[in-house]
C-alpha cells in the first residue's frame, strides 16, 4: 500500500481534542431588490465554540434552522466560514502544517440523502474507490480497498460491487456511503442525519454497524440528528443548538437527565411518550422556531421560553459552565445574571 495512504497518526496524544472549533460564524447574505443590494443576512451559525474529544461521539441536536447542517459543512470547508477557526489535533486547518487536502483525508462525511450522495453513473465499487485514487492510490489497490470496505459494511462485494445506486435499497445505499467515508481511513466522520431517512428496522441495523466500525477503526463521530432517542443512544456528549447558537453542551446522561436549558427541556418533553396511558397533554412550546434571518435580541429563545424575563431580551447569555463539563447558555442557571431563578452568586457552591 502506498505510503501516501497509510493511516494518519495521532499527534497530540489522547488528551488533546481531535477537533476544536473557535468562534465559528457563517452569515449568508440575502439579496433583495433589483440591484441585488444586500439588506439582510441569515445568521446560520452565529459564533459557536466546541471541542470533539478523541474517540468520542458528539451528538448535535436541534430543529430546522438551528445551523447544525451548516456547521457540518463548515467543518469540512465545503463552505467558507465568515469568521472563526477550526483546529484539528493541534493544527489549524488550512495552515502550512495541515493543508485542506490533508485535513479532508482525515475528516469525512455521510449525508442524509443516500441517493443524492452517490453518483448514479458509477458502480458502488467505483464510488468507494474514487477518493483513495484522488489521494494517489493506484486503481487496482483502490478497488481492492473498496471491495474490502463493502464487505465490512455488510455488502458482499461479489454480489454488490458492480451494481449501480438505483439498484440498491435506501439502507444498502447508506452502507455504501459509510464505506466511502471510510475509504480514506479518516479519524473523524461527520454523520449528518445519516440514519434519518431510513426505516426504523433498517436504522437499527445501521446504528449497530456504525458502533462496530467506530470500535474497529478507532473513529470519532459527530452525529447530527433531529431524533433525540437516537442521539441519546449513540452519543457520549451532546450539543443542543438553537438558531445558530449552542444552547447546551455536556455529557449525554447529564443533558438528557438534568437539562439546564429550557429549550433542551422542551425538546425532551416534545418527544412522543410511547405510553398509551400517559399521553402528552400540553405541548411544551407554542409556535415554530423563529427565522434565523432576523433572530430575536438577547437570548434567542426568549420568545418561546416559559422562563423568560425582561433580562432575557436585554442580555445575551454566555455559554457558561453549570456543573462539571456541562455548559448551558441560559441566564436562569447562571449566578448573578439578574434572572430571578438564577442561583446565588459569589463562590457559594451549588447545593443539590
Partner 1 sequence: MAVLAQHSVVEGPAPKATGYWTGVWRRLRRDPVAIAAGLVILALILMAIFAPYLAPADPYRTSTLRRLRPVGTAGYPLGSDELGRDMLSRLIFGARLSLFMGITPVVLAFGIGSAIGVLAGYVGGWVNTAIMRTIDVFYAFPSVLLAVALSGALGAGFGNALVSLTVVFVPQIARVAEAVTTQVRSRDYVEAARASGAGGFTIVRVHVLGNVLGPIFVYSTSLISVSMILASGLSFLGLGTRPPEPEWGLMLNTLRTAIYVQPWLAALPGVMIFITSIAFNLLADGLRSAMDVKQ
Partner 2 sequence: MTQPAIEIRNLRVTFAGVVRAVDGVDLTLAPGEVVALIGESGSGKSVTLRSLMRLHPPRRSKVEGTMTVAGQDVLAMSQRALADYRGATVAMIFQEPLLALDPVYTVGEQIVEVIRRHEKASKAEARARALELFQKVRIPSPERRLDAYPHEMSGGMRQRAMIALALACRPKVLLADEPTTALDATVQIQILLLLRDLQRELGLSIIFVTHDLGAAVEVADRIAVMYAGRIVEEGTARDLIRGPRHPYTIGLLKSRAEGALAKGSRLDAIPGSPPDLAHLPPGCPFAPRCPLAIDPCRADRPPPIPVGPGHTARCIRTDVSPTLLSPASRSDAAPA
| Residue 208 in the binding site for partner 2 (CB under 8 A) | yes
Whole-number minimum distance, CB 164 to partner 1, in Å? 6
Q: Which residue of 95, 280, 325, 340 would you call a contact of partner 2, by CB under 8 A?
A: 280
30/271 with CB nearer partner 1: 30
Of 53-82, which residues contact partner 2 (CB under 8 A)?
63-64
> CB count, 10 Å around CB of 232?
18
Helices and strands (H and E) in the chain: how many: 11, 12
Interacting residue ranges for partner 1, rule: CB under 8 A: 73, 76, 78, 100-101, 104-105, 107-109, 111, 113, 116-123, 127, 130-131, 134-135, 151-156, 159, 162-164, 166-167, 171-172, 175, 177, 180, 183-184, 205, 208-209, 212-213, 216
Residues 6+ apart with CB under 8 A from 131: 180, 183, 184
| Residue 288 in the binding site for partner 2 (CB under 8 A) | yes
134/342 with CB nearer partner 1: 134
Contact status, residue 88 vs residue 32, Cβ threshold 8 Å? no
Whole-number minimum distance, CB 119 to partner 1, in Å? 5
Interface stretch with partner 2, choices 14-22, 117-125, 157-165, 274-282 (CB under 8 A): 274-282
Contact status, residue 197 vs residue 170, Cβ threshold 8 Å? yes
43/105 with CB nearer partner 2: 43
Whole-number minimum distance, CB 289 to partner 2, in Å? 6
Q: Which residue of 9, 39, 101, 201 would you call a contact of partner 2, by CB under 8 A?
A: 201
Of partner 1, partner 2, none, which one does residue 252 interact with (CB within 5 to 8 Å by kind)? Answer: partner 2
Residue (of 276, 264, 263) closest to 231 by Cα position: 264
Whole-number minimum distance, CB 215 to partner 2, in Å? 10
Contact status, residue 328 vs residue 322, Cβ threshold 8 Å? yes
135/251 with CB nearer partner 1: 135
84/154 with CB nearer partner 2: 154
Residues 6+ apart with CB under 8 A from 247: 62, 240, 241, 261, 263, 264, 301, 328, 329, 330
Return the half-sphere exposure (C-beta side, CA atoms, 13 A cut-off) of residue 217: 25
| Residue 266 in the binding site for partner 2 (CB under 8 A) | yes
User: Buried (b) or exposed (e) across 197-229, using 16+ Cβ within 10 A?
Assistant: bbeeebbebbbebbeebbeeeebbbbbbbbebe
Residues forming beta bridges with residue 326, ordered by sequence position = 323
Please work out the total of residues on this chain that contact partner 2, with binding judged by CB under 8 A.
Answer: 48
Rounded CA separation 47/271 (Å): 28
Amino acid at each position: 500500500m502506498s505510503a501516501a495512504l497509510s493511516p494518519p497518526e495521532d499527534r497530540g496524544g489522547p488528551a488533546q481534542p481531535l477537533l476544536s472549533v473557535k468562534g465559528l460564524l457563517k452569515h449568508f447574505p440575502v439579496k433583495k431588490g433589483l440591484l441585488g443590494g444586500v439588506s439582510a443576512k441569515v445568521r446560520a451559525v452565529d459564533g459557536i465554540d466546541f471541542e470533539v474529544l478523541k474517540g468520542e461521539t458528539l451528538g448535535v441536536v436541534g430543529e430546522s434552522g438551528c445551523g447544525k447542517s451548516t456547521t457540518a459543512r463548515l467543518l469540512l470547508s465545503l463552505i467558507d466560514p465568515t469568521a472563526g477557526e477550526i483546529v484539528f489535533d493541534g493544527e489549524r486547518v488550512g495552515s502550512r502544517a495541515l493543508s485542506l487536502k490533508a485535513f479532508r483525508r482525515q475528516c469525512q462525511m455521510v449525508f442524509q440523502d443516500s441517493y443524492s450522495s452517490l453518483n448514479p453513473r458509477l458502480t458502488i465499487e467505483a464510488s468507494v474507490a474514487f477518493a483513495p485514487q484522488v489521494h494517489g492510490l493506484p486503481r487496482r489497490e483502490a478497488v481492492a480497498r473498496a471491495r474490502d470496505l463493502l464487505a465490512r459494511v455488510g455488502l458482499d462485494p461479489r454480489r454488490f460491487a458492480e451494481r449501480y445506486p438505483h439498484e440498491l435499497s435506501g439502507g444498502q445505499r447508506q452502507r455504501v456511503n459509510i464505506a466511502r467515508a471510510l475509504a480514506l481511513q479518516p479519524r473523524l466522520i461527520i454523520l449528518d442525519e445519516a440514519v434519518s431517512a431510513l426505516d426504523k428496522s433498517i436504522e437499527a441495523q445501521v446504528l449497530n454497524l456504525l458502533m462496530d466500525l467506530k470500535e474497529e477503526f478507532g473513529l470519532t463521530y459527530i452525529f447530527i440528528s433531529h431524533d433525540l432517542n437516537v442521539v441519546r443512544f449513540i452519543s457520549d456528549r451532546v450539543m443542543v443548538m438553537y438558531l445558530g447558537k449552542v444552547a447546551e453542551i455536556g455529557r449525554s446522561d447529564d443533558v438528557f437527565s438534568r437539562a439546564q436549558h429550557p429549550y433542551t427541556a422542551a425538546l425532551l418533553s416534545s418527544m412522543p411518550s410511547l405510553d398509551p396511558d400517559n399521553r402528552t397533554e400540553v405541548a411544551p412550546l407554542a409556535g415554530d422556531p423563529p427565522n434565523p434571518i432576523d433572530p430575536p435580541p438577547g437570548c434567542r429563545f426568549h420568545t418561546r421560553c416559559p422562563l423568560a424575563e425582561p433580562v432575557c431580551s436585554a442580555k445575551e447569555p454566555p455559554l457558561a459552565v453549570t456543573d462539571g463539563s456541562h455548559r448551558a447558555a441560559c441566564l436562569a442557571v447562571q449566578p448573578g445574571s439578574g434572572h430571578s431563578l438564577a442561583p446565588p452568586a459569589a463562590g457559594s457552591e451549588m447545593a443539590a
